[in-house]
Each structure stands twice: as structure tokens, then as C-alpha cells.
Amino acid sequence: MNRKEKLKTVMYLFMSFFRIGAFTFGGGYAMIPLIQTEVVEKKKWITDQDILDIIAISESTPGPISINAATFIGYKICGFWGAFCATFGLVLPSVVIISLLSMVLGLVESNKIVQYAFNGIRAGVLALIIKALISMYKQCPKNLFSYIVLALAFLVVAIFNINVIYVVIGCGVIGLVHSLIVTRRNKNDIS
């Protein structure tokens, strides 16, 4: 790719992900169909199989799935600057919209009707989060080990107030050790 082509590609990445950031509600998986239209169907830069890989990778790396996907696609298409422009494009609409909105929120916060509305909204949000929790649970492997880790993570934070970061590191290590033991045992069984 020559310099001019590269600039064009990078600009297109920025514009595409800006559009994606400005028009998807809910982030993460809600973004996947838009990414498909923008970079798979319109430009054919990556394939549907790539999209599946990207989702798998975004899930097993830290950070928001949408940011991971934008960085990965940008890098795959146009190297570092591709990654930079795609991610910057994705983030920019949020930063602008939320900054403006925070001013409005500050003005109406003390209004009685707004407070009543938020009393109701909090109950609605609770329902939304429980729904998200249920769909995550459905995707999680159902075995004794998973149940133990799930319960352990919940209990140590809810009851003992252990810092969430230690819980994440601990559960990652436990998962690794457990899977190594299982692989070794399976090998022994075969031999």
C-alpha cells in the first residue's frame, strides 16, 4: 500500500468506527452486525470467519469487547495507525455525547420529576442487568468446577469485601491450574 492509499484506508477506518460508535446502543455484541456491514460486506477487508476469531479473542483479552474488536480489525487492515484510527473513531462519539449530556444531567438532577423517574429507572436497570447475567450464565460451561469458581468469586466479594482485582487474578490462576491437572490426568488415562 502506498502512502496515499494508506491515508485513505485509515480515514475510512476512522469514519466507519465513528459511525459504529455513534449509532450502536449497548456496545459489545450489538456492534458486530454493524462491523460486518462496514468492513466485511462494503469493503471486503476481512471475512466472516475473521469476525468470529475477533469475537473469540475480544472475549479472552481484558477490556471492552467493542474496543478490542476495533483495535484488532484496524491493526489487521492497516497496522498500528489503522488500530489507532479505528479505536479513536469508536471512542470519540461517546466522549462528546456524554460530556454534553453530563451538563444537562447536572441541571435537571435536583428536579422532583427527574428524581421520581430515576427511582423507576433504577428498578428497570436491575432487571436489565439480571437479564444480562442470565444470558452470560447460559453461555458459561456447566460443570462443577465452573459452579465452584462462580460461587467463590461471588462470596468473597459480597461477604469478605475482597478487592475485585485479586479475585480476577485468583480465578484466572485457579482456571489455569485446574485445566493443566485435567489435561495431565487425561494423558495418564490414555497411556
Q: Which is nearer to another protein, 4 or 151 (CB)?
A: 151
Q: Which amino acid is at 10?
A: V
Minimum CB separation from another protein for residue 81, in Å?
12
Subset of 28-57 contacting another protein (CB under 8 A): 28, 31, 53, 56-57
In contact, 156 and 148? CB cutoff 8 Å: no
Contact map string, positions 125 to 164, toward another protein, x by CB under 8 A = xxxxxxxxx--xx-xxx---xxx-xxxxxxx-xx----xx
Minimum CB separation from another protein for residue 57, in Å?
6
Q: Which is nearer to another protein, 4 or 60 (CB)?
A: 60
Cα 47 from chain centroid (whole Å):
20
Q: Which of 107, 116, 185, 186 binds another protein (CB under 8 A)?
A: 116
In contact, 24 and 30? CB cutoff 8 Å: yes
DSSP state of 142: -
Q: Which amino acid is at 84?
A: F
Q: Is 186 in the site for another protein (CB under 8 A)?
A: no
In contact, 13 and 77? CB cutoff 8 Å: yes
